[in-house]
Structures are given as C-alpha cells and as structure tokens.
Amino acid sequence: MNYPVIDVHHHIISTSLQAKQRELGMTIPSFMPKWTPEIGIDKMDLAGITYSILSAPSDLTFLKQTDANHMARSINEEIASYIERYPERYGGFATMPLPDAESALNEVSYALDELNLDGVAMLTSYQGKYLSHPDYEELLMELNRRKAVVFLHPILIKEHIAGLNPALLEGTFDTTRAVTTMAVHRIFETYPDVRFILPHTGGMVPYIKWRIALAVLQEQFLQTELTGEMIDEEIAKLSSLYYDSTLNLGTVQKLVDPSRILFGADIPWPSDSILKLQRESVLTEAESISIDNLRKIAYQNAYTLFPRLERQLKLMDEVEV
C-alpha cells in the first residue's frame, strides 16, 4: 500500500534561540536532541513520513518583550528558510511572542502573509494566562477571521511531580486544563473558525468530555440539575477540535471522529524505535477500522486543513490505497 503520511507535529531546535540563550549565559540542557533539517528528513524517512509541519512553540517570556518580538521573528524566518530549502518535505507553524497580544498580532500578519507559513503554534498558557484570558480576545478575533490553524502545545512543566518525569505526563494534563478553561469561557463558540490542533491526542480531552461539559454547565454548583440533552449539546461544541496522534497511542480512534485525527510524531524527541512504533501502531489501527479511516488520518485530514499540500506534493495521483 502506497500513501502519503503528513506529520503535523515536528519540532525544530532553533539555532537562533539557542544562540540567544548562550549569549545570556543560559545552559542548554544535555538532554536536548540534535536537529537540523537534514536530521529531520532522515527521521521522517525512518518513520515513513512524507511531509512535516515544523514548529517551535517556545516560551519567550525569559526575554524582554522587544527581544521576544525579535526572537519570534528570527525563529519564523528560520522555519521559512527550511521550507524554502525543502519545499517538498516541510511546512511550518509560526512562533508567537506572547503574552503580548499586540506583538503577536503583528507577527501573525508577517508570518502568514509574508512568510506564507501554514498557521501558528501557541502554548496553552503564558505566565499563567490561558487563551481564555480577555487579553487574547483581539488576537483570537484575528485568527478566527483568517480561519487560521492553531497548533496548541502544552507548556513545559519542569518540576518532577510524584517523582515522575513531567515531559510524558504533565503536558497531557495541561492540554486538558487548557481546553476545559476554553470551553468554560466559550472560546470554541465565540471563535468557531479557528482550527485548533491538540497534540498528544488532546491529553485527556477525548476521554473526559462528559466532565468538561459538567464544568461548563455547573461551574461551581455541582448540584445543578442537568439533562442528558444539555450535556450532549455541550460535548458537541468540542467537535471542531483536531487531535494529533503523538506519543499517546490507544483508543482515541474509537472516541474521536476520524475526520478530526491527524498523524503526529514529535520529531526529534522520540527514539528511532518509538518513531517507527508510533507509525505502525497508529496506521495499523486506522486500517483495522477501515481503509477510509486510514486515508483520513494519514493525509486527507491534513489536506483539508492545508489545501496547498495536496496541490504542492501532487501525491494524489500516486496514491494506491
């Protein structure tokens, strides 16, 4: 079977960001993987990935705002340079200099209109402010006007909780927290044309939609009487969300409409064996449900979000599924 696989979750290790960190005397963690666009392509080939959307959803709040603005611009131009070098393999999401919404608005215009990036990468929160915060209203209005794709990545929680590495667990819980607060504050209703992608299968979101609906409908009053229809109506408001498959294999394909699932790999972080296992597990499960399900997760849903990919890659005539 020959078909393209589109990966929406591929991180660059930004040379410009690391240079700035060294300039400030910051230590680059020893566990940081090596990445160049060529290393990225080698990893993609290893895992049978046709095309990746690059991102660097960085927290730039360690910098003064003017410096953060310059750094976001530098990262986005770096991503654009990789796309220019390898247009048949890479697209990109823009880094935002948040929490300053006005600066982010300026960068949205530059990144999407001048650099022609495919969307924006945002963290779930900046300095404790989730996207439900009123400060982000104008930014969300603009993203909604543009029908933008927003790759919503969890923040990096550094502290070990219960003695466990936070990288694998805490991000999934942070995504769940972010989506719940956005639902409570009616973000998905107010800005229905923003296409949010939740990495790591959305954390716990697909599994606890009932609880999210209760959080919206009951707020602080847990004894509020509800009907099943009210809960179902609230759950339906989450149906616009997209989920990528990164590092959270399991039953998500039985919990989420197949038109809302995207393939994600999280290059360069997983080991080679995990990269191959992810692809095999996700796509084998997809095929076991149906060939149509496989097509959607491997490439069709990505083509829906990023129509230029189908035209640019010219792969549809080669697909033999």
Residue % of the chain over a pLDDT of 70? 95
Chain centre distance of CA 240: 14
Of 75-84, 165-174, 291-300, 304-313, the range with the lowest mean pLDDT is 165-174
CB atoms within 10 A of CB 239: 12
Q: Give the span between the Cα atoms of 40 and 112, in whole angstroms.
A: 23
In DSSP terms, 197 is beta-bridged to 151, 242
Residue % of the chain over a pLDDT of 90? 73
Residue 178 token pair:
């972010």
pLDDT at position 316:
46
pLDDT surpassing 80 at residue 279 = yes
- Name the pLDDT band for 170 (thresholds 50, 70, 90): confident
pLDDT at position 165:
76
CB atoms within 10 A of CB 38: 11
**Torsion (CA) 280, 290, 92, 204 in degrees, nearest 10:** -80
Higher-confidence residue of 70 and 289: namely 70
Q: Give the span between the Cα atoms of 64 and 90, in whole angstroms.
A: 31
**Are β-strands 129-130 and 90-95 bridged in parallel, bridged antiparallel, or unpaired?**
unpaired
Sign (positive or negative) of CA dihedral 263, 303, 82, 67: negative
pLDDT at position 1:
59
> Which position has the token pair 């992810």?
278
DSSP 144-174: HHTT-EEEEEPP---S-BTTB-HHHHHHHHH
CB atoms within 10 A of CB 32: 11
Q: Give the span between the Cα atoms of 2 and 126, in whole angstroms.
A: 42
